[in-house]
Amino acid sequence: MKRKWMALSIIFAIATFLTGCEPLLVLDPKGPQAARQAQDIMLSIGIMSIIVLVVFAMLIFVLFKYRASKQSPDYEPPHMEGNIWVEAICVGIPVIIVAYLSFVSVQSNYIVEATPQGYEEKEPLVIYASSSNWKWHFSYPEENIETVNYLYIPTDRPLEFKLYSHGPITSFWIPQLGGQKYAMSDMITTLHLAADAPGEFMGRNANFSGKGFAENTFEVTAMSPTEFVEWVDEVQETAKPLTEEKFDELIEPGHLGRMTFTGTHLDFMPPPEGHNHGSSHADESIEDSHSEHEGDHSNH
């Protein structure tokens, strides 16, 4: 494991050097999921570079050797049908490369879609991240607080983001912690992340959602678990409760700064959980009581 990290950091150092200045966000991971993705990216860049070099070399070779100007005027190029062995190589080698990359890809799929490796033992922190035009609302049901446009997270604890949208499809993305996932109005998607070390990260909606899309960003601060608990306590003491009227105001189209509340909007406006075919008015009331019950349960 350690050697792998060593090798990785060397590769990243080279990549950083090649690009000239500060490391590119995606190749400067601060969490296990982003690290896995950066590793896949560097691996594929490496393998693909070899293919590019082979094609370039072959092209340069034929261009130097078989230019009309380098040959006698009466040279007649031969008639050539395909050769089964040559074609087998042209198919076989790409098949081997694709098979290897597929193997890695499938493995990575199961890794990024599960609790981050090394964090399996710890209890995940569940955060509901929902977007409205053009803001992000972060509800911490366990802590019973809610923030707008900023996200505080503890390090060394798996994070389970429950994503959905109050409007168009958006995409929740914190490049340094891991890749993005869509937030949609009629279902909940889950994104597993974790932060290895304290720090400040950029987060944004990556999926075009209309006029205010470019500014649809949020700030992420990762802090030690004790600091996180202190922050939660502080919010509990100082912030105002989030009322239904206030929340209706918040999801009106527009931009907002950072905001903090006690309570979450999940209580009075339940997320589209448990069904993925849109919500009809008829079953909303059932949904209501159901999620209230769940809410109680998680408070115990």
Partner 1 sequence: MEFLERFAVPHPSIAIYASMVAIGLTMIAIVAGLTYFKKWGYLWREWLTTVDHKRIGIMYLISALLMLFRGGVDAIMMRAQLSAPENTLLDAQHYNEIFTTHGVVMIIFMAMPFIFALMNFVVPLQIGARDVAFPRLNALSFWLFFMGAMLFNISFVIGGSPDAGWTSYFPLAGNEFSTSVGTNYYMLAIQISGIGSLMTGINMITTILKMRAPGMTLMKMPMFTWSSFIANVIIVFAFPVLTVALAMGTMDRLFGTQFFTMENGGMDMLWANLFWVWGHPEVYILILPAFGIYSEVISTFSRKNLYGYKSMVASMVVISLMSFLVWAHHFFTMGQGALTNSIFSITTMAIAVPTGVKIFNWLLTMWKGKIEITTPMLYSLLFIPLFTLGGVTGVMLAMSAADYQYHNTMFLVAHFHNVIIPGVVFAMLAGLTYYWPKMFGFMLNERIGKWTAWLLSIGFLLAFMPMYITGLDGQARRMYTYSEATGFGPLNMISFVGAIIMAVGFALIVYNVYYSTRYASRDIGEDPWDARTLEWATHNPVPEYNFAVVPEVRSSEALWDAKKHGHVLFKDRNYKKIHMPNNSGVPFIMSLIFFVWGFSFIFSLWIPAILATIGILVCMAHRSFEQDHGHYISVEEIEETETKMRGAK
d(CA 273, CA 295): 13
- Residue 286 is a binding residue for partner 1 (CB under 8 A): no
Task: Evaluate whether 135 touches 216 at the Cβ level (below 8 Å).
Answer: yes
- Residue 109 is a binding residue for partner 1 (CB under 8 A): yes
Amino acid identity for residue 257 in this structure: G
> Which CB atom, from 185 or from 262, has the smaller least distance to partner 1?
185
Q: Which of residues 211-240 bind partner 1 (CB under 8 A)?
A: 211-214
> Which CB atom, from 3 or from 79, has the smaller least distance to partner 1?
79
CB of 196 to partner 1, least distance (A): 17
Please enumerate, as own/partner, the contacts of 10-19 that have beta carbons within 8 Å and a separation of 24 or more. Answer: 11/42, 12/38, 12/42, 15/42
Interacting residue with partner 1 among 8, 16, 108, 225 (CB under 8 A): 108
Phi, psi angle pair for 30, to nearest 5°? -120, 15
**117-125, 147-155, 187-195, 241-249 -> range binding partner 1 (CB under 8 A):** 187-195
- Residue 68 is a binding residue for partner 1 (CB under 8 A): yes
Sign of CA dihedral 257, 263, 269, 270: positive
One symbol per residue from 143 to 172: x for binding partner 1 (CB under 8 A), - otherwise; what is it? --------------------x---xxx-x-
> Which CB atom, from 82 or from 237, has the smaller least distance to partner 1?
82
Interacting residue with partner 1 among 16, 185, 221, 262 (CB under 8 A): 185
- Residue 129 is a binding residue for partner 1 (CB under 8 A): no
Size of interface with partner 1, in residues (CB under 8 A):
91
Q: Which of residues 244-263 bind partner 1 (CB under 8 A)?
A: none
Neighbours of 6 (CB within 10 A): 10
- Residue 16 is a binding residue for partner 1 (CB under 8 A): no
* Two structure tokens written together for 20: 């000239």
**Cβ neighbours of residue 287 under 8 Å, at least 6 residues apart?**
270, 273, 274, 275, 279
Phi, psi angle pair for 29, to nearest 5°? -70, 145
CB of 90 to partner 1, least distance (A): 4
Phi, psi angle pair for 101, to nearest 5°? -65, -35
* Two structure tokens written together for 19: 């690009």
Interacting residue with partner 1 among 37, 132, 147, 155 (CB under 8 A): 37
- Residue 179 is a binding residue for partner 1 (CB under 8 A): yes
Amino acid identity for residue 169 in this structure: I
d(CA 176, CA 155): 14
Q: Which of residues 71-100 bind partner 1 (CB under 8 A)?
A: 71, 75-82, 86-87, 90-91, 94-95, 98
> Which CB atom, from 68 or from 238, has the smaller least distance to partner 1?
68
